[in-house]
Structure 1
Amino acid sequence: MTGKQTAQGPQHKKDLTRRKVVAAGAGAVAAVGIGGGLALNASAEEPATGASASGSSAGTCYKLTSETTEGPYYIDADKIRRDITEDKEGIPLTLSLKVIDSETCKPVRNAAVDIWHCDALGIYSGYESLSTGGGSAPTDAPSGTPSGTPSGTPTGAPPSGGTGGGGHEEPTDDKRYLRGTWRTDRDGRVTFTTVFPGWYRGRAVHIHTKVHVDGAWTDAGYEGGHTCHTGQFFFVEEAVLASAKVAPYSTSTTERTTLTEDTIYDQSGTTGGLLRLAYDRKHIAKGVHASITVGVDPDETHDGTDDAVQPGASAPASSSS
């Protein structure tokens, strides 16, 4: 897949300071295959009207500054697929996204949506030698609060590689697990099959995403166009702590940063990328369904490399991905 981030001369709107990017709860979801004791989370900031969970093109629009850094571990790869699991172990995760125009609330069709994230032990494909995750059978699962005194800045040094603003690192290996791109349908929807991400030093549990528009789908993949959104999705602490009791997450000895300590997440609930989750609270290992509505401005370009807003960061952005 080539040229996804090559701008094709999109006409920018006059008001470039208002980045109209939204991550709003997608409403109630049916978690197929998830048993009793279903746990649903939705942010208090989510409006009662909510984004439509039906096939309707309607949605709730927000005007936010939810762009985030691309991070150093993005790969513009050729993995056009919905199932990005490969052979990685972990709690099954179904990620359902709906992409809408934040001005009109209409679905954005035929967009190319990328997602990528680390595995259950905090390792990124393509960057295994640079990743700071890992595990070697601890005596117990990580506690709700990481070691050290909590502060606005994550404890420990960030993952190596890159400079301020999420400078890109060249891949160090040819692995591409937990990475993929797929096309939004007529309702702006796209669904990925993956595993629940793990954690690594300096960041809360998260998934990266990019949305590309104005390109063309060909036999070779997605060509041309520009990136109108670069963001990250986050998980509530309750679900992360539940995952930490399940292998292979339970074997991790890596220091964990909580959601409130993360310098990228802006603490605004679903409007800042917090996923709505559905899972069996007693048996999270059965699987998790995550959903969110992402509102974008198709006329703007946000590739996450130089104009990303860094919520909560008082200093130049770290290279944490």
Structure 2
Amino acid sequence: MRQFEGRTLPHQLDDVEDQGLGFDLGTVFSRRTVLGALGLSGVGVALAACSPNSTTTAPTTTTTTTPTSEAVTAFTELKSETAGPYPGDGSNGPDVLELSGVERQDITTSIDSDTVAEGVPLTLTMNIVDMSKNNQPMEGAAVYIWHCDAPGRYSMYDSELANETYLRGVQITDKYGQVTFDTIFPGCYTGRWAHIHFEVFPDRASITDSTNNILTSQIALDETAAASVYALDVYGNSLSNLNNISLESDNVFSDGWDQQMAHLTGDATNGFIASIDIPIDPTTEQIQSMGGPGGNAPGGPDGMAPPQRP
């Protein structure tokens, strides 16, 4: 995979300067640390270094600036969404977060078995942004993701998967606020748009209690990409389920999905690369956003009522 300064590029097919604001901010703050060590304070120098037209001319005092108001206010906090009936975080029974080995990048296999979830490969990079610190990357946060398998079943809850833990895992954000998971493109079950669940915790130690999370939300996936994936036999009824739902009628995304839609590149033959910015203000209380009519209980394929969330 293509990298820049040791960081995986969220948009593998785009140039470095087209990776998005979350990636740019991580580059800025990383270079600020280096410049500080050299006695070159000033965000203007770091920003100049990110420009494709930058030169190696020595900086002068006139280049020292402060972040613009646009850079500070560019992000809107991501909406909180229901965790659904199958979080596996201990809030309604099963708890994968207490298992040794849950911290992993590849979540296509179960933790304590060799069971593999079949499907089209998907690499997901999430950029966690701390809005309370001038949109700096949130380093050291624990990100837990989970989603259904190709036929639309959730491990730990489906009767056939009660002893499986695949498609669940935790990663700790690096100094750029990034985590990357290797998984599969999730299936589409009746009443829900194709999606991925996640929770963000302030640090690794906090995952022992699901109520410690500072954001619970969901990521939406592109319709065209999903349709190409769901043409494969392993995805069962996913294509017909997708054709019977829309973002406008989905009971989670119907109140707006632009910010929750992952940026996707790739294809159903070679797999997909997805990326998304996750702006969080940990100083504010989560307010769960609920979509409009349509579909079953939020987050679950069989209409189970979701657990109560803080």
- What TM-score do you get using the length of structure 2 for normalisation? 0.64
Return the alpha-carbon distance in structure 1 between the equivalents of residues 228 and 171 of structure 2: 29
Residue 198 of structure 1: aligned partner: 187
Trace 1:23-102 onto structure 2 (pairs within 5 A): 29-30=11-12, 50-54=20-24, 55-56=26-27, 61-64=74-77, 66-76=79-89, 77=96, 78=99, 79-86=102-109, 87-102=116-131
Q: Does 1:127 align with 2:167?
A: no
Contact 1:278 1:290 in 2 (8 A): yes
Task: Give the superposed CA RMSD.
Answer: 3.2
Give 1:255 shift: 3.1
Contact 1:178 1:194 in 2 (8 A): yes
Return the alpha-carbon distance in structure 2 between the equivalents of residues 232 and 114 of structure 1: 11
Residue type of the partner of 2:128? V
Contact 1:57 1:187 in 2 (8 A): no
Give 1:249 shift: 1.8
Percent identity among equivalent residues?
33
Larger Rg: 1 or 2?
2
SS of residue paired to 2:136 = coil
SS of residue paired to 2:137 = coil
Higher relative contact order (CA 8 A, sep 6+): 1
Residue 116 of structure 1: aligned partner: 146
Q: How many residue pairs end up in the alignment?
A: 227
Q: Does 1:247 align with 2:218?
A: no
Residue type of the partner of 2:144? D
- What TM-score do you get using the length of structure 1 for normalisation? 0.62
Residue 202 of structure 2: aligned partner: 213
Return the alpha-carbon distance in structure 2 between the equivalents of residues 215 and 193 of structure 1: 20
Structure whose residues are more often helix by fraction:
2
Aligned match for 1:297, one of 262, 278, 281: 281
Give 1:62 shift: 2.7
Deviation >4 Å, runs of 4+? 57-60, 222-225, 250-254
SS of residue paired to 2:214 = strand
Contact 2:78 2:279 in 1 (8 A): no
Structure 2, gaps ≥5 residues long: 1-7, 30-70, 90-95, 110-115, 301-310
Give 1:252 shift: 5.1
Return the alpha-carbon distance in structure 1 between the equivalents of residues 294 and 227 of structure 2: 28
Aligned match for 1:270, one of 258, 279, 295: 258
Structure 1, gaps ≥5 residues long: 1-25, 32-39, 41-47, 131-171
Residue 174 of structure 2: aligned partner: 185
